[in-house]
Amino acid sequence: MTKRRCTKCGSVYEGDARFCPKDGNPLVDVAVAGASGTTIRKVYKPPAPDRFTLSSQRIDNRYEVVRRLGEGGMSYVYEAKDLTRGETVAIKILSPKLSADKSSVQRLRREAGLAMRLEHPHVCKIMRLGETEDGLIYLVMPYLKGELLSDREGKAGQLSVEQGVEWLVQICSGLHHAHLMNIVHRDLKPENVMIVPDDGGRDKAVVMDFGLAKEKRADPAIQKLTATGIILGTPEFMSPEQIRGKTLDPRSDIYALGIVAFEMFTGKLPFQGRTAQEMMIARLRGKPSTARQFRPAFPESLEAVLNKSLAAEPEDRYPNALEFGKALLDAAGSEDLRARVGHLLK
């Protein structure tokens, strides 16, 4: 029987529960050995970063690691086979050099606790949160076979209006689902969106990595956690209020998505600067470029929608992601497009 331990109070439970009934915190799987059910705990000593690899290894005797897919500032991502279910999955593992950092571990657990609540066709869900007997904390996600939006942009240069709006509406729908559950992404960018084939043979957009997600009304412990020196968000896509360190709401994600949309259609960013810091300052002091400066034939109606999403003050933007999606769809003016994705905005 699977045993799970509360990440806060340490209580251990059997069964399929994912959250602690005492305090609501996420439960992590613990490795169990022997008939007595004694939990094995070891002090994890991370290897040198350049030698760290899990390729061809098994995690908790269930996941057979196939290859490393990539790495970020806090984690490594592997393709693996779930030997229990016979499925290919992606496993995100906290970087060994940060495994001893309690705040990093807490953030990763927090990520899972939030993302496990998301169920939407355009959001990548977290299927499982586990901890190996060696102390590695990991997240199991569906393996999405596709490419990053940033890579697709690199190939296409400027996306067509119809294709771009289709994916943006899908992203808006996924974000709105998260926002209704009091979750703000905080790090929306082309590298956090996957373009994958859907069942009908078309490509669809899926929002990835809620690693910087936080509830709109964060408790003091979480507010303290986000001020530990870890950069929350990507400078080129941060909203003015995020740069200033103010409380964020869904309109901050709308701003970031506006920058993503601008880049999709023009191949450029709306704020220019030689460094990320200069671009951040430009967002606080200047006005964004317009899409037609880089793409003269771009529809004026769609440019107006992007301009509103990039308003410096949150109250001047769209009130929610659903309204942003509706405005994008209306400006595109395609009945075929409305027939394909209009249902996502209801």
pTM: 0.78
Identify each DSSP E strand in the chain by its residue range.
3-6, 12-14, 27-29, 32-33, 38-39, 58-59, 63-71, 75-82, 87-94, 128-131, 137-142, 147-148, 183-184, 193-197, 203-207, 214-215
The total number of residues shown for the chain amounts to 346
Q: Cα–Cα distance between 247 and 223 in angstroms, integer?
A: 10
CATH architecture classification, 147-345: Orthogonal Bundle (1.10)
**Residue 253 annotated in active site:** no
* 127 backbone dihedrals φ, ψ, rounded to 5°: -90, -30
Residue ranges of the domains in the chain? 3-142, 147-345
Residue ranges of the chain with per-residue pLDDT less than 70 = 1-10, 15-56, 72-74, 96-100, 104, 108, 111, 211-233
Secondary-structure class of domain 3-142 per CATH: alpha beta
pLDDT at position 42, please?
30
Which of these, 161, 148, 135, 154, lies nearest to 190 by C-alpha position? 148
Structure letter (DSSP) for residue 319: S
Active-site hit among 60, 101, 151, 187: 187
Reported as a single tens digit per residue, the pLDDT across 190-211 is 989 999 999 888 999 999 887 5
